[in-house]
Every structure is written in C-alpha cells, then in structure tokens.
Chains A and B, each alone.
Chain A
Amino acid sequence: MIVLDAVSKWYPSGIRPALSDVSVEIAAGEFVFLVGPSGSGKSTLLRLLLREERASAGQVVVAGRDVARIPDRRVPRLRRIVGCVFQDYRLLPNRTVAANVAFALDVIGRPRHVVRSIVPETLELVGLGEKAQSYPDELSGGEQQRVAIARAFVGRPRVLLADEPTGNLDPATSLEIMDLLDAVHQAGTTVVMATHNAALVDAMRRRVLELSDGVLVRDEAGGGYDTAPVPPLATALPTAPATSPPTSPPSSAPVPASAPSSARIPVQPGPGVPGTPGVPGAPPSPWAPAPRGPVG
C-alpha cells in the first residue's frame, strides 16, 4: 500500500535532511506506529505520503501511485484515499459535529442523499451519534478527536494517517482514541500513526518504525516504544487481543485501571449490542469498507 524507496527530503532552510535514505514497505491492512523524538522526520514522512511535500530523492508510492508523478490536478484523488487525523483535531468551530463530517463529503461532490445516510452512520461508529448537533467547543478533547476521525473515515479511505492523535489527550482518552483507530484498522484500513505515547505503543505491540534525525533506525514487528524489551501489555486494551500476541497478564499496567471500561464505548454500535466490532468471529462489522463506489 505504501512504499518508500531510498527517500530523502531536504527543506530549503534545513542544515541536515529531514529524511535521509528511508526505505520501507507497508502492506495493505497493516497498522504501523511511527515513533521518534520531535524533529526526527515523522511529520515529514506523513506529509510526503499526502503529497504536501515532494521527496528530494527517492520514490514514494501510495496505493500503487508514484506520488511525485501525480499531476497537480490529480492530487485531490490521492488525498481522497488517504485520510488524515491530527493532534489539534482541526475541526471547523462554526459547524456542528455532523456538519464537520458532512463537509468532507460535500466538498468532494458527494450527492446529498449519500451524505445524509453516511454521516449519521459514521457518527454512530465513533460513538457520537448523540452529539451530532453539538458544536466542537461543547465537546471534550477526546470527542473532538473522534469527530476528526469520523471526518477522515467518512470517505472510507484506504490509508489513515494519524499525526500524534493522542498528543493532547489524557491516558484514558488516548486509549479510547487508540481503540477507535484500531477499529478503523480492523475494517481493513491501513493505519500509520505517528506518536510519542509510549504506553500505547508498548501495549499494542504492532509494527514500529523508529526515526532518528531522519534516519530509519528500527523497523520491528510487534515492537515497543523503546528499543529495550518491554513486557507486553496487550491485555490492558480491550479491543487489542485479536491481533496482539497472546501473552500472560502483565504485572503492572502503564495505563490507568479505569481505561478499559471507557475505552470500550466508542467501538460499540450501541448499548447492549454484544460483540466488539473488528474482532474476528464477531458479527459483521459496521466498519467494513462500504461498497459505496470507488474512492480513488
């Protein structure tokens, strides 16, 4: 789904490259953490995937397209298959939750009946069906981030990029957001999440790409936030077990004990409905990619 081949990026004012000879391949349906200190090139990498920037050298391929060769007028098509979530949510304050999500469909010319049916459905998926008519400043940070995820997901992208989505959130809320992104992943979306949240990375045990000064220093399946081995903590996360390596319960959890109960909320279609979406063997997931025409 995503291939970086010897990619380097120099900014005109930079004294050293933001990315230096990075080669990596991310398969369709993978979930990848992108870690590294501030300024290590995580955001630059995400910007390259969106064609916000062009690589100075090397090749970036997203969904089979050489990103640098996409003509300018075709770039919007790329961005329709690559959803995006940020630390600061980037919601429109003068629009309701539903209108914020609908905006993403309106501006790509989706017909009204489609917008009217998908938006409430997607808000239900992120657990905000009740708050459709609220304004962003009436919501908590976690709820705002869920709106942002709904907006990124409403067009059913094939890739979701998340740039420190939990950066402004407390640990418990971070877990909820993590759950939500995991549910998006379970639905078949490739997810790349840049983060500083060591607890989440350690708990989820997914593939970890670590950047340091623009160099890819680690590409570890099931890795932790740091290179040093960390006891697996997957069971601290209610929706993670299906894809996490089976482990014995941890002796100490780095996340608050109250997290699991609240973390469950977003991925449940509604109160009292059994089964967690995304878990194999569970009833058909509402997150499954909708047969709603091409997104590319």
Chain B
Amino acid sequence: MRPGPLAALWWTGLRRNLAMTASVIVTITICLAMLGAGLLLRAQVHTIDRYLLGQLEVVVDLTDDITAAQRTDLEDRLHSDPAITAVRYESKQQVFDRFRRDFRGSPDVVAGVGPEDLPAALRLTLADPRASGDVVVSYTGLDGVEGVRDQRALLQPLYRFLDAFTIGAFALAAVQALASFALIYTMIRISAHGRRRETAIMRLVGASNGTIRAPFVLESAVAGVVGGLCAAGLLVAAKILLVDGQFTRQSTFPLFGWSAVWESAAAVLAVGLLASAAMASLALRRHLRV
C-alpha cells in the first residue's frame, strides 16, 4: 500500500481508539524510562570503573623469602590466567616509594616505616575489574605469596548499592513491559474489532496479508515510538535536573556524561519501536484472520 492511504487508515484508527492509545503510550513511557534509568545506572558503574581502573588494583604481596623459581612460576601462572590482562612487578623500594607518595599527607606514618618493612608485590590488572573475588581466592596461599589484597573490595558497598538500583530499575521496566504488552494486546483486539469492515473488504479485494496487518502494526509502532521519545525526554531531564543539577556537587566520583544519555535514549527508542511492533504482530495472529 502507498504511504498516503496507509496513513489515512492509521489516522482513522487513532481517532477511534484515542484513549486506549494514550494509555498504551503512558505505560510504554514508564517502562522505557525505567529501562533507560537502568542503562544509565550501569553506565555510572562503568564510569566509576574506568575512573578507578588505574588506581585500585589487586595486589599480590610476596613473601621476603620467595625464591626466584617460585616467583617465575607465580608470574607464569598469572600471565596465563585469562582473567588477568597485565602483571607488574614492584620491588620493595618501589612499594616504599608508592607508600610514601600515598601517605605524604601523614609524615608520622611514613616516618616509622623503612623500605625493608614492606613486601615486594605483583600488581594485577584484571580483564573484568569487578571479578576480583575469584582472583583473590585462586592466588591466596600459594608458595611465596604472603597475601592477596583487593583494593576494589573497599568499594563493594558502593557497587552493591548501584547494582541494587540497576536491578530494581530493570525489574520495574519488566513489570511495565508486561503491562504494556497486555495493553497493546487489548488495543489490537479493540482496533481489529473497530476495523472489521475494512479488513473484511481488504481481504475480499485481494489485499496482501501484510497490507491488512500494516495499519495495526503501524498503530502500535507509533505508540511505541512516542513512548520511546517521552522516555528519552525523561532521561534528558534527569541528566539536566538530577545528575548535573544535584549529584555533581555531592559525588566524589565522576558521573556519566551525555554520550551515555544518548546511547540509552537510542536503545530505549529502538526497544519501544521494535517491541511494540512485534507485540502487535503477535496479537494480530490471534485477533485478525487474513
């Protein structure tokens, strides 16, 4: 069908079904806004990860009596571990220098410590910085290893907090998605009933199945896109009002930037369009005989 007549069919359907379409849009908006919020929280976690990547590491402290063979053996194992991307050796002197630098604000602490007091160490960069637990367990207690410290563990409460909110947002999005699907299903049923004369005639004069379904799918897809645009608007508003307006001043960590907002908005729009069109097609199988 040409776009003109298709748009005309869509428009009459919309006028006939305005209240239903409005409620579908509202539900989709909430659903997609929650989805977008979840994506932004994940983006925030990644932002923090990136920020801390060079600062907090897993450190394998070596015993003072480690033999050259033991150290070579240990380093070989670390190098061949897929979870570890880089291994850097720090001698006792280097560890001491770092210690002095980290605690330069506290001369009292530095004063009581000499280079010999601190263990030499292997500093590890992990493929997935958040999967440090396994690495700690694997290398603790090996010959020549005094201990494995995960500096990231200090941040676990923060990560747990962000994770909880991310999961909560996604769960709400899922519940809203179910509601949206139920509403789209109902909208299609009502719409198919309202259009039954038209579809009967379309069938009769030999319109293809795709043509007969097109106005319904369009109706649902437009609702999905409008819902997606509203949700994207909410994300932008949240970035301007909440993130930039409130949190920047309070947070010690950097916050996600605009690129994360645009990525989430694009994802939300795409999901809105595709999921609503797919749901409409599914409902049509049930409610429209072609």
- Chain A contacts to B: CB under 8 angstroms: 50, 72-73, 76-81, 83-84, 90, 92, 94, 103-104, 106-109, 111-112, 151-152, 155
Contacts and interface: CB of A to CB of B under 8 A. Distances in A.
Contacts of B209: 72-73, 76
Contacts of A76: 203, 206-209
Contacts of A152: 205
A48 B137 CA distance: 74
B5 A79 contact: no
B1 interface: yes
B197 interface: yes
B201 A103 contact: yes
The prevalent SS among residues of A at the interface is helix
How many B residues are at the interface, by size bracket? 10 to 19
A107 B197 contact: no
B205 A90 contact: no
A124 to B, nearest CB: 20
A106 B201 CA distance: 12
Given A72-B209, A76-B209, A79-B205, A107 B5 contact: yes
B202 A107 contact: yes
Interface in B176-221: 197-198, 200-209, 211-212
B4 interface: yes
Given A90-B197, A92-B201, A103-B201, A155 B2 contact: no
Contacts of B200: 90
B12 interface: yes
B201 A104 contact: yes
The 3 closest A-B pairs by CB, nearest first: A80-B206, A79-B206, A107-B207
Interface string B117-158: 000000000000000000000000000000000000000000
A155 B211 CA distance: 17
A109 B2 contact: yes
A92 B197 contact: yes
A115 B209 CA distance: 21
B4 A112 contact: yes
A79 B200 CA distance: 12
Task: Report which residue of B2, B12, B200, B201 has the largest number of chain A beta carbons within 10 angstroms of its beta carbon.
Answer: B201
Contact of A84 (B4, B204, B207): B204
Contacts of A77: 206
A16 B207 CA distance: 34
A107 B12 contact: no
Contact of A78 (B12, B201, B206): B206
A94 B202 CA distance: 15
27 contacts: A50-B204, A73-B209, A76-B203, A79-B203, A79-B205, A79-B206, A80-B205, A80-B206, A83-B205, A92-B197, A92-B198, A103-B205, A104-B201, A106-B2, A107-B1, A107-B202, A107-B212, A108-B205, A108-B206, A109-B2, A109-B208, A112-B2, A112-B4, A151-B205, A152-B205, A155-B205, A155-B206
B143 to A, nearest CB: 71
Given A92-B198, A94-B12, A73 B4 contact: no
Task: Report which residue of A81, A104, A112 has the largest number of chain B beta carbons within 10 angstroms of its beta carbon.
Answer: A104
Contacts of B207: 76, 107-108
A64 B211 CA distance: 26
Contacts of A112: 2, 4
Given A72-B209, A94-B12, A109-B211, A79 B204 contact: yes
Given A72-B209, A76-B207, A79-B205, 10 more contacts: A78-B206, A79-B203, A103-B201, A106-B2, A106-B5, A107-B201, A107-B211, A109-B2, A112-B4, A151-B201
A295 to B, nearest CB: 9
A19 to B, nearest CB: 21
Nearest to A81: B206
Contacts of B212: 107
A82 to B, nearest CB: 8
Contact of B205 (A72, A104, A111): A104
A81 B205 CA distance: 9
A109 B206 CA distance: 10
A106 B9 CA distance: 11
A137 to B, nearest CB: 14
Contacts of B205: 79-80, 83, 103-104, 107-108, 151-152, 155
B11 to A, nearest CB: 12
A132 B59 CA distance: 86
A146 B58 CA distance: 86
A105 B192 CA distance: 21
Nearest to B199: A107
Contacts of A73: 208-209
Contacts of A109: 1-2, 208, 211
Nearest to B200: A90
Nearest to A109: B1
Task: Report which residue of B12, B201, B206 has the largest number of chain A beta carbons within 10 angstroms of its beta carbon.
Answer: B206
A183 B202 CA distance: 25
